[in-house]
């Protein structure tokens, strides 16, 4: 009986092991840089983390016509909310996306790959696979236009940036560390925090129709 209880406890521990995701190499093989603030600064030590899509590879808060709602959003370490926090869109509609904030701000300590003096994400520690988060889920890097997590008041219109790559997939829940740093090897393009919390994203079709209407009006005035 004791053996059965012990085995059950061990299995439970394995299913909830804390994972570490690494985004900076110790050498020069790869470092993610050029994740910028809303003003284009590449040296701002910003708050960052990941967003996990628990049922598919679509991040609902940056898809056409959707936007992440700032209401109820907490910018704190994921250790405060070990299961991550559920994100909502468009006035409180639930999504399958969960947010984890790293306990570390971006670092300015360069480790090669042209990262000296540039801000870069480091490690996201103590990621617990719970609340629908499992191995194989797609995730995206997310960074906010904040340089502190202490007493941060979040408001509509605050800026953030997101980066999703095909190989950003959660590894097996082994309670170990997995590095994604090699995906950032080489020169990184500028990626500013150009998304807004609580602000609708214009539909491409709506914008196009508006441009066509303006052009027609201009031609009519010229005639």
**Short-list 57, 62, 56, 52, CA closest to 86:** 52
* Tens digits of residue pLDDT in 45-68: 999 999 999 999 999 999 889 999
Which residues have CB under 8 Å from 196's CB, separation 6+? 67, 156, 157, 158, 159, 160
**Secondary structure of residue 11 in the 3-state scheme:** helix
Report if residue 168 sits inside a domain.
yes
Report if residue 18 sits inside a domain.
yes
Report if residue 91 sits inside a domain.
yes
Report if residue 220 sits inside a domain.
no
* Full residue range of the structural domain in which residue 108 is found: 2-208
132: left (phi over 0), alpha (psi -120 to 50) or beta: left
Report if residue 218 sits inside a domain.
no
The Cα–Cα gap between 159 and 146 comes to 9
Residue 126 φ then ψ, to 5°: 60, 40
* Tens digits of residue pLDDT in 4-51: 333 333 334 344 678 999 998 766 578 899 999 999 999 999 999 999
Q: How many domains does the chain have?
A: 1
- pLDDT string in tens for the chain (223-residue length): 444 333 333 334 344 678 999 998 766 578 899 999 999 999 999 999 999 999 999 999 998 899 999 999 999 998 888 889 999 999 999 999 999 999 999 999 887 888 888 999 999 999 999 999 999 999 999 999 999 998 889 999 999 999 999 999 999 988 889 999 999 988 889 999 999 999 988 754 333 333 334 434 333 333 4
Report if residue 199 sits inside a domain.
yes
Report if residue 213 sits inside a domain.
no
Report if residue 215 sits inside a domain.
no
Which residues have CB under 8 Å from 40's CB, separation 6+? 190, 192
The Cα–Cα gap between 124 and 24 comes to 11
Q: Name the average pLDDT for the chain.
A: 83
């Amino acid at each position: 009986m004791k053996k059965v209880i012990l085995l059950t406890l061990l299995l439970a521990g394995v299913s909830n092991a804390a994972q570490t995701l690494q985004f900076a190499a110790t050498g020069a093989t790869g470092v993610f840089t050029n994740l910028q603030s809303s003003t284009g600064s590449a040296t701002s030590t910003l708050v960052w983390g990941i967003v996990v899509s628990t049922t598919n590879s679509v991040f609902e808060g940056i898809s056409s016509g959707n936007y992440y709602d700032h209401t109820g959003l907490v910018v704190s370490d994921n250790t405060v909310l070990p299961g991550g926090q559920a994100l909502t869109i468009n006035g409180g509609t639930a999504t399958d996306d969960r947010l984890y904030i790293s306990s570390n701000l971006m670092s300015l300590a360069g480790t090669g790959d042209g990262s000296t003096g540039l801000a870069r994400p480091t490690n996201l520690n103590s990621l617990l696979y719970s609340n629908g988060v499992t191995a194989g889920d797609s995730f995206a890097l997310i960074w906010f236009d904040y340089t502190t997590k202490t007493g941060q008041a979040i408001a509509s219109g605050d800026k953030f940036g997101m980066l999703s790559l095909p190989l950003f997939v959660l590894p097996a829940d082994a309670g170990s560390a997995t590095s994604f740093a090699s995906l950032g090897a080489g020169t990184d393009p500028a990626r500013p925090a150009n998304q807004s919390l609580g602000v609708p994203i214009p539909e491409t079709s709506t914008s196009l129709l508006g441009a066509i209407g303006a052009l027609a009006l201009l031609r009519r005035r010229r005639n």
